[in-house]
Every structure is written in structure tokens, then in C-alpha cells.
Amino acid sequence: MILYIKNIDTRQDCNKPWEHLLEQYPALVEPIRESWNDPSSFVRKIYMITPTKTRAEQTPDLTRLAQTLYLIPNLFWIVVEDEPQVTLRLRRLLRSFHLPFIHLNIATPDYLKPTQNQSTWRRPRGVFQKNIGLQWLRTNTNKDEDALVYFADDDNTYHWKLFQEIRKVQSVGVWPVGLVGELLYERPICLNGRVHSWFHYMYRKRKFPTDMAGFAIHLRLIHHYSTYVFNVSATSIAEQESQILNTMTTIDQLECLANNATKIYVWHTKTQSMFLTSIERLRNAGMKYDLVNQL
């Protein structure tokens, strides 16, 4: 095996490490320059709503997402925790990222949580949290602001170019989402910038067969449809996207982005739940630690 190691001149002036880093890895410059030099970046704010819940994988998921957001100017992160009270652990984590954010909370009722032997997709997730995010927007933003709203799961994977596409949205924009619906991708099939049909497999009767990560909405629509909230019924599986889109737009009005919906810039990845030894077994072994709050 041959390993390539870039030669580093130890005689370099170590007082300018950032400049030297860009010299060694010039590819770093491109997303930063393209994102931050785009005039729309500082005109059109993105409000991103992210539901999140306490679990062992929460900190690494949010850390990965935050490090993508460093590349995105003029983005405000609305993080809504699935807890009866905001946790200081999550508040400290969010503050450590030094990103513009608001930390909200609301607990999902027990009757809407999946049972021990039930798959998570059997219950609508993040519904109460999204509704609190919408409520915050209507209370704390101006209905005339030229801004966009995007719903982002904490364990999805986002290319920095996705946010450039979001800033092109005039009303409601759509694009492909990878690794979703038992397919490599779902996507709108577009002709001349408008949706002609959809490529999808699961839940065939959906009016808007897209994932929550596959669209963004102009803020004025969130204000205009001021009474809209996501249906929290346990029977609304796979219908959350169709509910909001059917309320705020029509298929004919959807804007096809990401090169006429041919480029994938977001993937519905899902962090696998880690097997962790129970507190009881650790106690029996003479060990004690907090499974979530230790670090």
C-alpha cells in the first residue's frame, strides 16, 4: 500500500496557520468562497427547523450537522428538543458551535411514541417539534421578510450546495432526496422547470411523494397560512409532507431546483442506534456512568 503524505515545510511561518492550511488544501476555499460570495446569501435568510431528541447518537449527529452549517452564511437554526424542558446538556452543545440558533422544546406525548417492538417509521416523528418551530417563526419574524423555511432532520446528510438551491426558491421549491423510500432516491420528474410526475415507490397514493428534506417554503406562506399545523394523528404516517404542500401550493406551482431535479444534495441517512449495555448490568459489574450526559 502506498500512502501519499503532503510535504510540510517546517520552516513556514507558523503565525499564519489558516493561510497555510488553504495552501495545502485549496479545495477548502471553493465552498467557502462560493457560499459567502453569493449575493443572495446575505439578502435571503434561511430559517432551518430541526427536531431532535435525547439519545446516545444525538451529540455526534448534531456535531456533524453543525460543521456543515459553518459553510452556510445567513442561516438561523431553530432546534426543537423533544423534552418537557430544555436540557442544559443540549444548550451547552449548541452554544459550543457558535452558530445563530434558538433552542426550544416540547415533549411528544407517549401515545405517539413507538412501542418497544415497533419500528420508528410506524409513528409520525418530530411533529410537535415542527409545529413549535412554525409557531416561533410566526411570532418572531416579519411576514414581509424575504426568507426561506427548511425542515432538516438532525441525522440527514447535507451538501453545502443544497442551501444555494434553497435560496433560489420564490414560493415552494423541490429537489431529489437520496436514500429514501426504499430507493436510492426519490425525485420530482420535471419538464421546463415544473413538476410533471414523481419517481417514488413507497406510499403510492401520496399527492406530494417527497421527503421532508426535499422542499423549502417561502416565509410569507408560513405567515399567510397562519393557522396551519402538522397533523399529529398517529394515522398520518407519510402524509406530513403532502399536508403542508397541499395547503400552501399546488403541483403546478412547484419550482424544480437542483438542475431540474437531477442533482442530489441531501440524503435521508439515519444513524444506527448503538447497542449500549444497560445501567443495571453496569451496576452489577460495579460500574456507574450516565449513558447520555457523561461527556
Q: Indicate the annotated binding residues for Mn(2+).
A: 155
Nearest CA to 44 among 173, 155, 130? 173
Spatial contact of 61 and 155, defined as CB atoms under 8 Å apart: yes
49 in helix, strand or coil? Answer: strand
Whole-angstrom distance, CA of residue 147 vs CA of residue 48: 11
Whole-angstrom distance, CA of residue 197 vs CA of residue 61: 33
Annotated active-site residue 241? The verdict is yes
HSE toward the beta carbon, residue 221, CA cutoff 13 A: 19
Catalytic residue among 165, 186, 239, 241: 241
* Residue ranges of the binding site: 155
CA 128 vs CA 110, 202, 218, 226, 275: distances in Å: 12, 24, 21, 16, 28
Active-site residue set? 241
